[in-house]
A and B are shown apart, each in its own frame.
Chain A
Amino acid sequence: MSLRTSALMGACAVMALATAASAETTITVATVNNGDMIRMQGLTSDFEAKHPDIKVEWVTLEENVLRQRVTTDVATKGGQYDVMTIGTYEVPIWGKQGWLVGLNDLPESYDVDDLLPAIRGGLTVDGTLYAAPFYGESSMVMYRKDLVEAAGLEMPEAPTWDQVREIAAATTDKANEVYGICLRGKAGWGENMAFLTAMSNSFGAKWFDMEWTPQFDSPEWKRTLTFYLDLMENYGPPGASSNGFNENLALFQTGKCAMWIDATVAASFVTNPDESEVADQVGFALAPDNGLGKRGNWLWAWNLGIPAGTEKEEAAKAFVEWATSKEYTELVAEKEGWANVPPGTRTSLYENPAYLEAAPFAQMTLESIEAADPQNPTVDEVPYVGVQFVAIPEFQGLGTAVGQQFSAALAGQVTAEQALANAQTLTEREMKRAGY
Chain B
Amino acid sequence: MARAVTTNRKVVSTVFGWAIAILIFFPILWTILTSFKTEAEAIASPPSFLVFDWTLENYSTVQERSDYFLHFMNSVILSLGSTVLGLLIAIPAAWSMAFVPAKRTKDVLMWMLSTKMLPPVGVLVPIYLIFRDIGLLDTRLGLVIVLTLINLPIIIWMLFTYFREIPGDILEAARMDGASLRDEIIHVLTPMAVPGIASTLLLNVILAWNEAFWTLNLTAANAAPLTAFIASYSSPEGLFYAKLSAASTMAIAPILILGWFSQKQLVRGLTFGAVK
Q: Pick the contact of B132 from A35, A77, A250, A276 — CB < 8 Å?
A: A77
- Nearest-CB residue, chain B, relative to A30: B220
Distance to closest chain B CB from A60 (angstroms): 4
Cα separation A275 to B232 with both chains bound (whole Å): 20
Interface flags for B30-47 (1: CB within 8 Å of A; 0: not) read 000000000110010000
In chain A, positions 106-132 with a C-beta closer than 8 Å to chain B are: none
B237 close to chain A: CB less than 8 A = yes
A residues less than 8 Å from B93 (CB atoms): none
B residues less than 8 Å from A79 (CB atoms): 132, 137
A421 close to chain B: CB less than 8 A = no
B220 and A62: CB pair below 8 A?
no
B238 and A275: CB pair below 8 A?
yes
B residues less than 8 Å from A57 (CB atoms): 221-222
Cα separation A351 to B238 with both chains bound (whole Å): 29
Distance to closest chain A CB from B265 (angstroms): 35
A76 and B237: CB pair below 8 A?
no
B221 and A38: CB pair below 8 A?
no
B65 close to chain A: CB less than 8 A = yes
Cα separation A58 to B228 with both chains bound (whole Å): 12
- Nearest-CB residue, chain A, relative to B222: A57
A residues less than 8 Å from B256 (CB atoms): none
- Nearest-CB residue, chain A, relative to B216: A65
A246 close to chain B: CB less than 8 A = yes
A33 close to chain B: CB less than 8 A = yes
Interface flags for B214-239 (1: CB within 8 Å of A; 0: not) read 00110011101000100111111111
Cα separation A30 to B234 with both chains bound (whole Å): 16
B residues less than 8 Å from A76 (CB atoms): 125, 128-129, 132
Question: Max chain B CB contacts within 10 Å: which of A28, A33, A41, A276?
Answer: A33
B231 and A65: CB pair below 8 A?
yes
Q: Pick the contact of A61 from B65, B231, B240 — CB < 8 Å?
A: B231
A residues less than 8 Å from B228 (CB atoms): 59, 61
A78 and B236: CB pair below 8 A?
no
B232 and A60: CB pair below 8 A?
yes
Interface flags for A315-353 (1: CB within 8 Å of B; 0: not) read 000000000000000000000000000000000000000
A residues less than 8 Å from B125 (CB atoms): 72, 76
Distance to closest chain A CB from B183 (angstroms): 47
B237 and A34: CB pair below 8 A?
yes
A269 and B224: CB pair below 8 A?
no
- Nearest-CB residue, chain A, relative to B234: A62
Cα separation A277 to B38 with both chains bound (whole Å): 14
A residues less than 8 Å from B231 (CB atoms): 61-62, 65
B232 and A61: CB pair below 8 A?
yes
Cα separation A244 to B238 with both chains bound (whole Å): 11
In chain B, positions 101-136 with a C-beta closer than 8 Å to chain A are: 125, 128-129, 132
Cα separation A59 to B228 with both chains bound (whole Å): 9
B220 and A59: CB pair below 8 A?
yes
B169 close to chain A: CB less than 8 A = no
A35 and B220: CB pair below 8 A?
no
B residues less than 8 Å from A65 (CB atoms): 216, 231, 234
B64 close to chain A: CB less than 8 A = yes
In chain A, positions 35-92 with a C-beta closer than 8 Å to chain B are: 35, 38, 41-42, 57-63, 65, 69, 72-73, 76-81
A80 and B237: CB pair below 8 A?
no
B221 and A59: CB pair below 8 A?
yes
B residues less than 8 Å from A33 (CB atoms): 232-233, 235-237
A254 close to chain B: CB less than 8 A = yes
Q: Pick the contact of B137 from A78, A244, A269 — CB < 8 Å?
A: A78
B220 and A246: CB pair below 8 A?
no
B235 and A244: CB pair below 8 A?
yes
- Nearest-CB residue, chain A, relative to B45: A177
A69 and B239: CB pair below 8 A?
no
Known contacts A30-B220, A76-B128, A76-B132: does B235 contact A246 (CB below 8 Å)?
A: yes
Interface flags for A251-262 (1: CB within 8 Å of B; 0: not) read 001100000000
A78 and B128: CB pair below 8 A?
yes
Please name 15 pairs of A and B residues whose Cβ atoms are closer than 8 Å in the assembled complex, sorted by A: A30-B220, A33-B235, A35-B238, A38-B237, A60-B66, A61-B232, A69-B220, A78-B128, A80-B137, A246-B235, A246-B236, A250-B240, A254-B239, A275-B239, A277-B40
3 nearest CB pairs, A to B: A57-B221, A80-B220, A35-B237
15 other contacts beyond A58-B221, A60-B66, A69-B220, with CB at 8 A cut-off? A33-B232, A33-B235, A33-B237, A38-B236, A42-B65, A59-B224, A62-B231, A65-B231, A76-B129, A77-B132, A80-B220, A244-B235, A249-B238, A250-B239, A253-B239
